[in-house]
Structure 1
């Protein structure tokens, strides 16, 4: 894979800060180019790479939506955060977003020093559909064996295309509805058989062993919190080190930038990182 375009952000950019270096570039993806936004603290090199996948229910979302979380991780962890502008449905259905994530992971390993990262040490994080993509990439990395995922954090992930584990929307004051979830799954997984694929429907998988340590953040005011917590329980049952936290005042949308959820994820990742970042003068 080759870089097709890169752009540094000037000091006047809305994304630039005094403590972070932020750059954008594009690489070749599964069906179209992938926009990436890279965040790291100035002066640090050989950083573990975190791939962050924005929310948007498979059909929307952008790098701008991911900015708060990506910036938080880059500022509070010694990591190079790569925010991934993966392909969106319905134009690009499964497995386009997942394969874009995989190609980004392989690109980060090859780019290495040129981007200030160590692509042999990879973390994953994502919100909503981005949590689905991140988790699917953990499956792919385990099965293909050429990407090592050290840990993952999923924020209100969409994990159950069968929609059998939704909370009662009459009780939960959710900002995403079952109808919206159904439309999103049908856009990303247009074929019924795809909705049973283990990379797309992890609750249907009987092979969860070997997945990376996982942090799963759920929101009480979210119809999706039951499926995420069910998945956490199944990971624990499969021997995967898993931490699950429900945030009582968060919603599906807000959990992506909830300060407590982000900080809890930082502490989780700190437990699974080796302090090998190199400072250059």
Structure 2
């Protein structure tokens, strides 16, 4: 494999910037570093017809949401909907950090998108993020008429930690007989906290996301022993049968590559229709780096096309 030239340029920019690794600072400082990175790397956002900030109830509080409706959607039209969970290691990121991705998916797919601002560690340990993801999914489905969406055409998606949550929501709702999720899109998902794959060994240093950072994220998010729970490590779920059709993106130079591809293979073995795409020259997180990495827009366009076809 050869590193994509844009990805190589971004890695060199990161090296020269000399920002401290996440695992060497506290969570608040890490969040600020992440916000600065997103502002520098996100391209100009695509236009949509409407954005609306909402909230879904959960025990003891609410989950902030943002609804995007694409251009061309009429006021009374009932649209397919994608519920999106942002990445950031269950510690970093928010609705704003992934605003560009959600706008792109809405604009290119013709679907409504609902972005979810779930609780994160270390302030809110596992399974708070899972609980919020489930609560948001159920609220969106249960308030479809008011939101102008079609609950029979509902998908979930996320990148990295968000891909983990999207996978977990499909499992949770299958087992609970809850929301009928029609499709799942997993973008370089984290699926197993074992973190002992060949891609972790090959790319755990020098490719932006490091093995050390992943261990730090784990410490912020989980309590000892939680890693064995399928709600933290969906690859460890006993049975993946009966899950919705899946679109799984991985990146060739990503420590999470192998666990994402193993999850996709297990879905296939369980009889789930799966479309996979490895962007061989890319690094973890490239979908949010479109100002530097041109292939980001191509990958989001392809994901939006798949969504449009499968909803």
TM-score bracket, shorter-length normalisation: 0.7 to 0.9
The structure 1 residue matched to 2:219, chosen from 183, 186, 208, is: 186
Q: Does 1:118 align with 2:156?
A: no
After superposition, the C-alpha distances for 1:82-111 in whole angstroms (9 at most, x for unaligned) are: 000011111111211111111112211222
After superposition, the C-alpha distances for 1:228-270 in whole angstroms (9 at most, x for unaligned) are: 1111111111111111111123221213451222122122223
Alpha-carbon shift at residue 52 of structure 1 (Å): 0.5
| Matches of 2:267 and 2:251, distance apart in 1 | 19
- 1:20: which partner in 2? 49
The structure 1 residue matched to 2:298, chosen from 260, 264, 270, is: 260
| Matches of 1:65 and 1:146, distance apart in 2 | 29
| Matches of 2:45 and 2:91, distance apart in 1 | 27
| Matches of 1:150 and 1:243, distance apart in 2 | 14
- Paired residues of 2:90 and 2:221 also in contact (CA < 8 A): yes
Structure 1, unpaired ranges of 5+: 1-14, 274-281
| Matches of 2:62 and 2:143, distance apart in 1 | 17
After superposition, the C-alpha distances for 1:159-205 in whole angstroms (9 at most, x for unaligned) are: 1111122515555752111111112122222131x211122212222
Structure 2, unpaired ranges of 5+: 1-43, 291-295
Q: Which is richer in helix?
A: 2
Over 3 Å counting, the alpha-carbon distance change for 1:224 and 1:18 in structure 2 is closer
Q: TM-score, normalised by structure 1?
A: 0.85
After superposition, the CA RMSD in angstroms is 2.0
The structure 1 residue matched to 2:58, chosen from 29, 47, 50, is: 29
| Matches of 1:170 and 1:108, distance apart in 2 | 40
| Matches of 1:93 and 1:129, distance apart in 2 | 14
Q: Which is richer in strand?
A: 1
The structure 2 residue matched to 1:69, chosen from 101, 105, 124, is: 101
Over 3 Å counting, the alpha-carbon distance change for 1:179 and 1:117 in structure 2 is same
Aligned pairs, how many? 258
| Matches of 2:209 and 2:261, distance apart in 1 | 17
Over 3 Å counting, the alpha-carbon distance change for 1:139 and 1:43 in structure 2 is same
| Matches of 1:129 and 1:171, distance apart in 2 | 18
- Paired residues of 2:200 and 2:255 also in contact (CA < 8 A): yes
Q: TM-score, normalised by structure 2?
A: 0.77
The structure 1 residue matched to 2:193, chosen from 148, 161, 165, is: 161
The structure 1 residue matched to 2:74, chosen from 19, 37, 43, is: 43
- Paired residues of 1:169 and 1:177 also in contact (CA < 8 A): no
